[in-house]
Structure 1
Amino acid sequence: MSASPSAAIATNPSLSAVIRRNAGDPALAWLLFKRLFLSSPSSSLSPSAVSAISRILARANMVSELERIHRHLLLQPCPTSSSALVALARSSAFFGLLDFCLSILRSLRSLSPSFPPPLPLINSMLRSSLRSSRPDLVQLIYHELLLAGAAPDVQTLNILMQSLCDCGHLDDALQVLDKMLVKGCRPNEFSFGILISACCRAGLNNRALELLERMGSQGCTPNIVIYNALIAGFCREGKVHEAEKLVERMREAGLLPNVVTFNARISALCKDGKVLDAYRIFKDMKEDYGGFELPKPNQITYNLVLGGFCKRGMVEEARALVDEMRKDGYFVKVESSNIWLSGLMCTGRLLEARKLLEQMAKDGLEPTLHSYNILIDGLCKQGMVSAARSVMGLMRGRGILPDIVTYSTLLHAYCLKGMVQEANWILHEMARNGCVPNAFTCNILLQSLWKEGRTWEAEILLKKMNEKGYGLDIVSCNIVIDGLCRSGKLDKAVEIVTGMWLHGSAALGELGNAFLGLVEDRNGSSRCFPDLITYSILISYLCKAGRMDEAKQKLLEMLGKNIKPNAIIYDIFIHGYCKLGRISSAFNVFRDMEKKCHHPSTRTYNLLLWGLGRKNQIKEMLNLVDEMREKGVALDATTYNNLIRAFCEGELTSRAASLFEEMLKRGIRPKFASFGLLIKAFCKAGEFDSAEGAFRIGLASCREKEALYSLLIYELCRYGKVLKAKELFQIAFDRGFSIENFEYKFLIEELCKENRVDDAKNLLTAVVNRGHTFDPATFMPVIDALGRKGNNQEADKLSEQMMDMAARHDDDSYHQPSRSYGNMNGSKFHAQKQAGSLENDWRSLLHRDDGSGIVLKVLKRVQKGWGQGSIPISQSRDAELCEMEDHG
């Protein structure tokens, strides 16, 4: 019996070629296909014809037409329809129509239960699922394969493992490998490569190394991609030595490292701060060793080294590399310009950064949004917020709209400067320009408001955040809790944390009326439960308040809620107990910390050393330092300072000095406190040459030079070396140091006590002539000394200057009541005096009854008309003057 005409047409290969010739016009191809092949419901379709039209339709995403072919094929008898369905599915899978493809797969299983779908189709669908980032479909398709009774091959299982790795199910992927070995499905190098790369990305480099060893036992040879993944993994972990071993192993296996290998090593070295080592590798890559050439650096290599230089602040080296990149043709990407721009901004080279932007425009490299964000961030870090604000206008002029990073950077800068109103304007501008603020942006402003003590405004902002749907996350709650603790409302903070376990962020409603709207969150699906940071804040403030038992209760509550304390929590408890002098309790926490596998850090040991030092337990401190060395815990400047302080307070200056020398030999840069402790101890012991030696070393290595001068001047005065102190003060004065914090009143008093009135008067005159404003009481030791010597004319002259300064002092105090006048008592090493205490120093002169009469004499002359109006005297002050006269 001959085939029907329609069947003959449907199986004619030349007609399939006609369809393919019209691939450029999918609508026409579909029209031809319908007329030629779908003229009858019973017409049979050949796999070649279905393959031809389905590729055209799938490419054009004409899903409804494909579904019509699918329905037509389901009406046809097997096995022809099965082959055509496979062709339809493969074309659809290739072009990413995965849901449609899955429906075809299920049709095949229903039509031919005993004939599973071919593995090439399954593998094609799986690969397409991975390309489309649909790992969920990978597992679904694999499940369909198992339901059909088919046995997956190694390619299928490799795709399944890749899918599991992409989903973060690494353990499941490793189990697939184990099952492959059990079922005799031999894995290949791709199987191991997938898992090794995934382990390295997850930071499980040692596990990846174990897989490398297993490859050999399975007869698989690692390729350069696998080695590069391992090398990059160890480099990211900072284990450069292990990475170098793998490079040698590569060479032994006959594999030459490529540029990817070298880039991984350079990246790791730069990240570890070893930029010069990275640069040496980079230079080696550029050299020609005659027969043995290393891979040449690419754009990524150049950018890595440039970024390393910029992050370390090595501007001159970076500039030389930029010139080299321009010469070699590698400074043609915006990414390279952005790295260099970031380096210039971080080091405050604003003019060069501006020139770079202009050069980018000349070179046809249009600055991107990221470029402008770098510029704005750099200006904000330099405190130039207004300039950063103006950059936004420049951006808009070039058609680039600010994004949430731009606004957040400005918002944060305004908050740091305490310009909360301007920060609020930024938040409103964001909303007006369609850049919706997120919780992160609002939290920046929220934190600033709490720090500024503007509680009411913080409450309003929280309410608005909730109303506008920005969401109150755990960060918002933690900011509020920290703000409450900071403002002394610790009990309220404890109450809210307890309420958060029941109501989430709605517990903030307990703060007051402004928060009542948050109560609506109680039935919401997302709740903010306290986390590790919440408890860290609460425990820290409880310990600071000395409420250690309550802090311990919160720790137990944490553990009950399955929140594991970290090393910071333990450090908080150790500091709290040390502050209260309960050293044994601090050590109990310390030992418990070790039992819980939290390795104590240098900070932990420093806290214990500080506590022992307060108890003068020097022997125990030395034992603890020995323990640090045994356990490989690094000693830092704070460690040495704790020991030096203890030796200095115990008057063991020679041991303190030897510790200081050890500190220098170890390459640990001393802090100002180190020099301060030694200078004070040496001066107290009368070892002034040693004190000056420490001072000289400090000048060479410490940035706080003015503070060093001020400290040594004070200590020399304190222990009778007044002339030496005066010489040192004159040196500081001549070098133009700001002397606002110098102890020159104390120096003047000591000079007067030693009857060196001329020296004291000359020093005072020099300070006045330099234009320094200070407490008028500073004049009195010199005025008194001149009066005692009978030099009343000079005393009167200084008195006039004193009264003139007093007038300015009172006027400034009236307009700026909180101002500190940087006088001799402003030193950071001694008791600080605020403006109020300066007022007392000056006013106390009016109550003197030592018989000198100088102040009264001057004040009487002021009241009689001389210098009238230069100093305001109230009625109450008049009464005080009368009372003083009565007391003679």
Structure 2
Amino acid sequence: MPMDRAAKLSKAIYLNSNNPNLAWLLFKRILSSPIPASSSFFKPSLQSVPAIARILITAKMHPQIDHLHQLLLSQHRDFAHPSGFSLVRTLADLGLLENAISQFRSLRDRFPHDPPPISFYNLLFRCSLKESRVDCVIWLYKDMAVARVKPQTYTFNLLISALCEMGYLENAREVFDKMSEKGCKPNEFSLGILVRGYCRAGLHSHGIDLLDEMRSSGALPNRVAYNTVISSLCGEGQTVEAEKLVEKMREVGLSPDIVTFNCRIAALCKSGQILEASRIFRDMQIDEEMGLPKPNTVTYNLMLEGFCSEGMFEEARAIFDSMKNSETLSLRSYNIWMLGLVRSGKLLEAHLILNEMAEKNIKPNLYSYNILVHGLCKYGMFSDARSILGLMRESGVAPDTVTYSTLLHGYCRRGKILEANYVLREMIQVGCFPNMYTCNILLHSLWKEGRASEAEDLLQMMNERGYGLDNVTCNTMINGLCKAGNLDKAIEIVSGMWTRGSASLGNLGNSFIDLFDIRNNGKKCLPDSITYATIIGGLCKVGRVDEAKKKLLEMIGKKLSPDSLIFDTFIYNYCKQGKLSSAFRVLKEMEKKGCNKSLRTYNSLIQGLGSENQIFEIYGLMDEMKERGIFPNVYTYNNIISCLSEGGKLKDATCLLDEMLQKGISPNIYTFRILIGAFFKACDFGAAQELFEIALSLCGHKESLYSFMFNELLAGGETLKAKELFEAALDRSLALKNFLYRDLIEKLCKDGKLDDASFILHKMMDKQYSFDPASFMPVIDELGKRGSKHAADEFAERMMEMASETDFNEHENKNIRGRLNNNDESDWQKIVHRNDGSGIAQKTLKRVLKGWGQGSIATSQPQKFSTRDHWDGDA
């Protein structure tokens, strides 16, 4: 074949890249031509090998690639050798390492005495490391030694990197030390690779020792090597050691650069030492004489994120504003700030950040929008969250599974299952299919709402969509069954999981679930510690503690180690039952198993000891908590305050309240109810009043505080103070369900304060409260005794109107419904049947009923049934 014809065929291969079959035929035509070995035809043919290889690889014609290799080997040596290695190079470059190594081995067998150059080995070394094929690196190194190909420093560096990846750090160090013997002096990259290997393995001291050795030998390490160790130390929280290494840098004449400082700042922020990080940042900004590097965008972002994480919002805002002035803002900066705003509840300001980003020509990414959607859903602002989805689409950013799952989770948390289902349907319609996380959220919510059948329907849908059940799904179902009181079914499923995995959920009556394990026979869901914690917790809650103990033994027998949560469950229930000795036996077993005591452990024990008034032992536990670095919370203090109060040690209890405030632990309403109740019991009304004022300032004007204080004042005979407090509650439009206002009205009437009692009634009516009609009776009685017939009739008429209203207070309905179920007469029935001697209220009632044309009291009596029916109804 003439030379120009071969060249034309080679060119035709290039031109037919989009037609791989034709290109392959053309290449085979070239190789099939009988050309002498000395012909210059080989030159265009060699150039065609990488081209045809790329065409075949792109077209995924793997059998043809193997055929190409065999064709090349069948050619004359002068062509087969270079073309074969050319093919191997192309395969390696395009990521087909397995094929490249296989064909390289074949070439080495064919041409054992004619190895490729070191650059070729380096290429295969590099590609093998990229694919984490350390075994290939080792084989290549051995083959290179057999072929007596002299390695370069770069070759040794690749070998050291491979050994470090495998964890053979001693061998990596041996290669590093013997490089000089092979005529290759280690360079700064050699050192950096080995140091990085030590750091990744957590052997920071070895890395530091290596730096010291290099410095002693006169070969000064570079700044990168020092920064590698400093960064690793900082990442592990060893800031003191990192600072020492920074000083060593300075001693050898290497000034810490921006990377060094950013590593230190990142570590300090991560460990919560934001003030120390801020000091370094400030020095970098102002201390030019010391030659400190100026902060860059990374530095600013680290500080911004650190302040936001620690809740130091004003400091974070100052950093963000300074970034605006210095033009160091990036997309990451805006995302960090937006996340900080959302966490602080400043959703409007976070939303405005989107506009500011547009002004700066910084386009928000998917993460930016998801931050806002998460914040809005967290605060229940679903319509605003949905508007963000519209804004995303307008900006060309498609909502992803995270976006929809966040919205769905928000609806589920608020119990809005219908809306969550709409989100799920919308996800699927737009082609954004839910993942297991999404489905598990909805599944958990359905069980939480007690909608078991819908939860099973969701399992059916998950099966149809091809999802395999995971442990979260199984545990969610088991937890739902436990909360629904179906413990025996939950236990049956757990037992089945050991043999059938997730298919045990078929015990719910869904035989389709058997399909899951057929498709995922290698991924069976086995019970874990969460599964057993759920079952044990459910059993303990209903008092089946002996069965819970058997489940604990079963768990241990299955080689599952119980965690602190499971032991805490037993301790809590034993303490609740007053079985302190049993609780402390569990505690010993817990410590024997290596499980640390948690705050929950201590709170359970303190509650149990408090019920036995063992205050000395409680203080011992508090000291132990302090030694272990476990900080008490409001529940810890409430238990101790309750114990002290019941023991009459009010001064000590009040001191604990002061201690709480000093430690920044906010007392809750229960804290004050304990103390106020104790001071009322001790007849110290002044102290109780002071505590009530403190409670209002710390907890706000809550109905539970007002009603508790009111009832205590009333019980303590402080009727006028109770009246004043009740009027204040009415002025604040607080609910009346827990106020004993009827007792107040009776006492006022009994004490001859009819005007005050009438004023209370008028005020409740003016405020349009629904209250118990029986509250009118003491006033009507007293008015009758005083001969105020007209006023008594007005109150009686209003009482009858209120009794017939359909919007009577639901709480009262429930109370009366409960009393009727117990065969007790309601207050309204007592009014109708009342005959206390004076009969004034009864006569007044009869007179009013007659005025309404309802005849005698006998004709009105059946109305008690209609009234009862109404209160028992849906109104």
TM-score relative to the length of structure 1: 0.82
Structure-1 residue corresponding to 2:35: 40
Q: 1:266 to 1:215 in 2, by over 3 A?
A: closer
Is 2:260 aligned against 1:261?
A: yes
Is 2:623 aligned against 1:642?
A: no
Aligned ranges 1:504-653 → 2 under 5 Å: 504-512=501-509, 515-524=510-519, 525=521, 526-653=523-650
Cα RMSD (Å) of the superposition?
Answer: 4.6
Structure 1 window deviating more from structure 2 (662-671 vs 374-383): it is 662-671
1:123 partner letter: N
Q: 1:118 to 1:364 in 2, by over 3 A?
A: same
- Is the 8 Å Cα contact of residues 846 and 855 (structure 1) preserved in structure 2? no
- Mapped partners of 2:39, 2:577: distance in 1: 92
- 1:634 aligns to what SS in structure 2? coil
TM-score relative to the length of structure 2: 0.83
| Residue-by-residue CA offset, 1:627-678 (whole Å, 9 max, x unaligned) | 3334443333332222211111111112212233333334433333333222
Q: 1:37 to 1:585 in 2, by over 3 A?
A: same
- Mapped partners of 1:718, 1:120: distance in 2: 96
- Mapped partners of 2:320, 2:367: distance in 1: 19
- Mapped partners of 1:277, 1:226: distance in 2: 25
Structure-2 residue corresponding to 1:108: 107
Deviation at 1:472, TM superposition (A): 1.6
Structure-2 residue corresponding to 1:884: none
Q: 1:584 to 1:355 in 2, by over 3 A?
A: same
| Residue-by-residue CA offset, 1:304-324 (whole Å, 9 max, x unaligned) | 333344445555544443332
- Mapped partners of 1:410, 1:633: distance in 2: 36
Structure 1 unaligned spans of 5+:
814-818, 827-831, 882-888
- Is the 8 Å Cα contact of residues 543 and 551 (structure 1) preserved in structure 2? yes
Deviation at 1:460, TM superposition (A): 1.5
Q: 1:499 to 1:362 in 2, by over 3 A?
A: same
| 2:450 aligned residue (443, 450, 453) | 453
- Mapped partners of 1:508, 1:719: distance in 2: 58
| Residue-by-residue CA offset, 1:532-554 (whole Å, 9 max, x unaligned) | 21111111111212222221222
| 1:670 aligned residue (651, 661, 667) | 667
Deviation at 1:174, TM superposition (A): 3.7
Deviation at 1:360, TM superposition (A): 3.1
Structure 2 unaligned spans of 5+:
868-875
Q: Give aligned pairs, total.
A: 841
- Is the 8 Å Cα contact of residues 46 and 80 (structure 1) preserved in structure 2? no
Is 2:649 aligned against 1:660?
A: no
2:836 partner letter: D
1:499 partner letter: G
2:285 partner letter: K
- 1:356 aligns to what SS in structure 2? helix
| 2:695 aligned residue (688, 698, 723) | 698
| 1:499 aligned residue (496, 499, 506) | 496
Structure 1 vs Structure 2: percent identity of aligned residues? 47
2:850 partner letter: K
Q: 1:46 to 1:94 in 2, by over 3 A?
A: farther
Is 2:379 aligned against 1:388?
A: no
Q: 1:120 to 1:457 in 2, by over 3 A?
A: same
Aligned ranges 1:230-309 → 2 under 5 Å: 230-237=229-236, 240-241=239-240, 243-273=242-272, 275=274, 277-287=276-286, 289-309=287-307
Deviation at 1:764, TM superposition (A): 3.6
Structure-2 residue corresponding to 1:139: 135
Aligned ranges 1:804-843 → 2 under 5 Å: 804-808=801-805, 810-812=806-808, 819-820=810-811, 840-843=826-829
1:520 partner letter: L
Q: 1:473 to 1:795 in 2, by over 3 A?
A: same
- 2:862 aligns to what SS in structure 1? helix
Deviation at 1:875, TM superposition (A): 6.9
- Is the 8 Å Cα contact of residues 135 and 164 (structure 1) preserved in structure 2? no
- Is the 8 Å Cα contact of residues 208 and 229 (structure 2) preserved in structure 1? no
Q: 1:695 to 1:851 in 2, by over 3 A?
A: same
- Is the 8 Å Cα contact of residues 125 and 140 (structure 2) preserved in structure 1? no
| Residue-by-residue CA offset, 1:363-403 (whole Å, 9 max, x unaligned) | 43333333332232222112122332343334334443321
Deviation at 1:143, TM superposition (A): 3.1
Structure 1 window deviating more from structure 2 (32-41 vs 614-623): it is 32-41
- 1:326 aligns to what SS in structure 2? helix
Is 2:194 aligned against 1:208?
A: no
- Mapped partners of 2:610, 2:533: distance in 1: 26
Q: 1:153 to 1:775 in 2, by over 3 A?
A: farther
2:414 partner letter: K
Deviation at 1:803, TM superposition (A): 2.9
- Mapped partners of 2:17, 2:124: distance in 1: 23
Deviation at 1:259, TM superposition (A): 2.8
- Is the 8 Å Cα contact of residues 51 and 91 (structure 1) preserved in structure 2? no
Q: 1:879 to 1:59 in 2, by over 3 A?
A: closer
- Mapped partners of 1:278, 1:96: distance in 2: 44
- 2:353 aligns to what SS in structure 1? helix
- Mapped partners of 1:600, 1:124: distance in 2: 55
Q: 1:34 to 1:284 in 2, by over 3 A?
A: farther
- 1:610 aligns to what SS in structure 2? helix
| 2:795 aligned residue (790, 794, 798) | 798
Deviation at 1:485, TM superposition (A): 0.4
Structure 1 window deviating more from structure 2 (555-564 vs 441-450): it is 555-564
- Is the 8 Å Cα contact of residues 189 and 221 (structure 1) preserved in structure 2? no
Is 2:73 aligned against 1:74?
A: yes
| Residue-by-residue CA offset, 1:421-453 (whole Å, 9 max, x unaligned) | 222222222222211222211111111111111
- Is the 8 Å Cα contact of residues 53 and 87 (structure 2) preserved in structure 1? no
- 1:135 aligns to what SS in structure 2? coil
- 1:651 aligns to what SS in structure 2? coil
Is 2:463 aligned against 1:466?
A: yes
Q: 1:263 to 1:684 in 2, by over 3 A?
A: farther
1:335 partner letter: R
Q: 1:804 to 1:494 in 2, by over 3 A?
A: same
- Mapped partners of 2:276, 2:467: distance in 1: 47
Structure-2 residue corresponding to 1:816: none
Aligned ranges 1:362-441 → 2 under 5 Å: 362-441=359-438
| Residue-by-residue CA offset, 1:183-211 (whole Å, 9 max, x unaligned) | 8999887567557656766xx75x33454
Deviation at 1:578, TM superposition (A): 1.4
| 1:850 aligned residue (836, 844, 855) | 836
| Residue-by-residue CA offset, 1:256-306 (whole Å, 9 max, x unaligned) | 33333333444444445555554444333322x232243222223333333
Aligned ranges 1:162-177 → 2 under 5 Å: 162=161, 172-174=167-169, 176-177=171-172
- 1:626 aligns to what SS in structure 2? helix
Structure-2 residue corresponding to 1:326: 324
Deviation at 1:501, TM superposition (A): 0.8
Q: 1:193 to 1:478 in 2, by over 3 A?
A: farther
